Amino acid sequence: MHFHDEDTITALATAPGVGAISIIRISGSISFESVDQIFVGKQKIVNTPTHTIHYGKIVDRNNEIVDDVLVSVFRNPNSYTGEDSVEISTHGSSYIVEKIIAALVETGIRLAEPGEFSKRAFLNGKLDLAQAEAVADVINSRTEASLRGARNQLDGLLSSKVKSLRKMLIEISSLIELELDFVEENIELIPLSEITKKISAIENEIESLLQTYSFGRVIKDGVNVALVGKTNVGKSSLLNYLLKEARAIVSHIPGTTRDIIREELYIDGILFKIYDTAGIRHTEDEVEKEGVVRSKDAVKNADIILFMNDIKEKFAEGLYGYITGQSGSERVIIVANKLDLGDEISFKADVKISCITGEGIENLFSLLKKKAIGSYSYTEKTAIVSNLRHYNALRKSRQNLKNAQYSISAKFSNEFIAVDLRNAENSLGEIVGEITSDDILNNIFAKFCIGK
Ligand SMILES: Nc1nc2c(ncn2[C@@H]2O[C@H](COP(=O)(O)OP(=O)(O)OP(=O)(O)O)[C@@H](O)[C@H]2O)c(=O)[nH]1
Ligand SMILES: [Mg+2]
């Protein structure tokens, strides 16, 4: 393989710091020669077959032993990057790692840039762009759901869907372009109504992909949930109940919470970021005033608002108006708290709970889940969009298809339709990296960490 004649690079691939072992990665045409200059084992690494592991010692310039190590050998094209690669497993000391990397650099190779191993894997055709991005997501995943979503993308579900849509588009545009050759003779090879139908089918597929984004984003990044309400309704009590610890101060004195308290909670593998806020009321207290300002910010930034009310009290109509004015009623769950004091209620609540007995909390969980992911059911086979870049590219593509449909209905010449279709194709191509620029690539890989 080796399409790209590049430098040989090295970096620590495991997390920096102390650990049982650390792994140093080396990739590029002189990987084996470079390692042989500092490695003493039974045989030279250049002579070893691919996918073998070798015990030996790393020695420094003065022939002092730095560490005993295991060296794994991967010959191109059967490595992560597609190039000749080596992984050196050392004892997990950052001092040892630093010494070995310095020794490697002295042999004439250089330090890798962030994401450079994955970038090479992409450039050598080992992964497409969406898959390379999924590597980052797999590494960053913290929940079952986010891991499954990232795996789904790494396994190429999104890529193969996008590639097949792109192929269909290319077929349509070649028909249109073919027809351009016959314009003089005024022959219509396929009726435009056929073309319209085919484009609509692709538009629908793109639409369904776009609809997975809110779900994809939730499983990847989690959901922001703000606990909002008047003072003393039990917002902090709910936070504490959910966390099973006395995280926030709770008291019968109104205006207890002033700062925002942020904590994380997993419900069925989905990450909920919970924000306990200051109760919203009119106040002359400077500190509390600032707390109220922050609560209002939290309302703006939340994906879901748990609007808390005391079941014994009047519904906070004015505050509800404010919240829905900011964010609509879609994102709000009306909670009636203190159910243990009696279930008579003067307002309409989505759920009744008690932070003392825990009654109703399960119902609250199902409402939260429903608001977060809707009725979306997750199957291993569905392609999911979880990356903003992909989402935007799909939207661009959809817009270009709309333009094409317009060109057809307005009876524009086929040249116009062809241009719209070409643009739609290119937007899809950007997702998997079939169409790309250095800028896009550098931008994507620069966000990776070193060694990836
Ligand atoms: N009986 C009963 N009391 C509750 C319940 N939840 C909270 N409380 C009480 O209500 C009072 C206020 O609770 P907090 O959790 O501090 O209320 P808050 O909404 O955070 O109040 P601020 O931070 O002042 O805005 C405390 O005395 C709690 O013990 C509940 O479910 N049942
Ligand atoms: Mg509070």
Please give the full DSSP string across 2-69, using - where no structure is assigned: --S----EEEE-SPSS-EEEEEEEEESTTHHHHHHTTEEESS-GGGSPSSEEEEEEEE-TTS-EEEEE
Atom 3, ligand 1: residue with shortest CA distance: 338
Number of domains in the chain: 3
CA of 255 to the centre of ligand 2 (A): 7
Picking from 127, 155, 175, the residue at the C-terminal end of a domain is: 127
Same domain, 234 and 340: yes
- Apex 236 CA angle, 233 and 242, nearest 5: 115
Choice from 294, 312, 355 to test ligand 1 binding pocket (greatest atom count within 8 A of CB): 355
Q: Profile the chain (452 residues) by mean pLDDT over runs of 10 residues.
A: 70 91 97 98 97 97 94 97 98 94 96 94 93 88 82 89 95 84 67 91 95 87 95 98 94 94 90 96 93 94 96 96 91 97 96 97 95 72 88 97 94 89 95 86 85 82
Residue 280 near residue 288 (C-beta atoms within 8 A):
no
Any ligand 1 atom below 6 A from CB of 247: no
Domain CATH number, residue 31: 3.30.1360.120
Closest to 40 (Cα-Cα) out of 24, 30, 55: 55
State the pTM of this model: 0.76
- Ligand at minimal distance from the CA of 233 is 1
- What distance in angstroms lies between residue 22's CA and the mean position of ligand 2's atoms? 45
Q: Indicate whether 300 and 253 sit together in one domain.
A: yes
Regarding whether 290 and 152 lie in a shared domain, the answer is no
Residue 426 located in a structural domain: yes
Calpha distance 439→76 (Å, rounded): 27
116 and 236 belong to one structural domain: no
Report the CATH number at residue 200. 1.20.120.430
Ligand 1 contacts CB of residue 256 (under 6 A): yes
> Ligand 1 pocket, 115 CB below 6 A?
no
**In this structure, is residue 2 part of a structural domain?**
no
Residue 452 lies in a domain: no
User: CA-CA distance, 200 to 173, in Å (whole number)?
Assistant: 14
Q: Is the CB of 150 under 6 A from ligand 1?
A: no
> What's the confidence (pLDDT) of residue 12?
96
Residue 311 lies in a domain: yes
Co-location of 22 and 52 in the same domain: yes
> Would you say the CB of residue 89 lies under 6 angstroms from ligand 1?
no
164 and 185 assigned to the same domain: yes
The per-residue pLDDT for 376 is 67
- Ligand 1 atom nearest residue 276's Cα: 20
Q: Is residue 265 part of a domain?
A: yes
Ligand of minimum distance to the alpha carbon of 241: 1
For residue 78, what pLDDT is reported?
Answer: 96
Residue 244: which CATH number?
3.40.50.300
Using a 6 Å cutoff on CB, does residue 251 contact ligand 1?
Answer: yes
Name the domain boundary from 127, 145, 176: 127
What is the rounded CA–CA span in Å between residue 343 and residue 405? Answer: 57
Q: Is residue 345 part of a domain?
A: yes
Ligand 2 centroid to 277 CA: how many Å?
A: 7
In a domain, 39, yes or no: yes
Dihedral over alpha carbons 32, 36, 40, 43 (to 10 degrees): 60
Which of 95, 127, 159 is at the close of a domain?
127
For residues 165 and 254, membership in a common domain is answered with no
* Ligand 1 neighbour 277 (Cβ under 6 A): no
Residues 96, 163 within the same domain: no
Domain of residue 79, residue span: 9-127
Nearest CA to ligand 1 atom 30: 338
What confidence score (pLDDT) does residue 2 get? 43
- 166 and 51 in a single domain? The answer is no
CB distance 255 to ligand 1 below 6 Å: yes
d(C-alpha 14, C-alpha 87), whole Å:
11
Statement to judge: residues 404 and 292 lie in one domain: no
Order the strands of the 304-310 sheet from edge to edge.
261-267, 270-276, 223-229, 304-310, 332-337, 351-352
User: Distance between CA 429 and CA 133 in Å, rounded?
Assistant: 15
Phi, psi of 92 (to 5 degrees): -80, 65
The preferred substitution site among 228, 233, 237 for testing ligand 1, maximizing ligand atoms within 8 Å of CB, is 237
Ligand at minimal distance from the CA of 256 is: 1
Q: Is residue 449 part of a domain?
A: no
Q: Are residues 43 and 95 in the same domain?
A: yes
Nearest ligand (C-alpha, residue 237) = 1
- Whole-angstrom distance, CA of residue 268 vs CA of residue 286: 40
Q: Is there a single domain that holds both residue 61 and residue 94?
A: yes
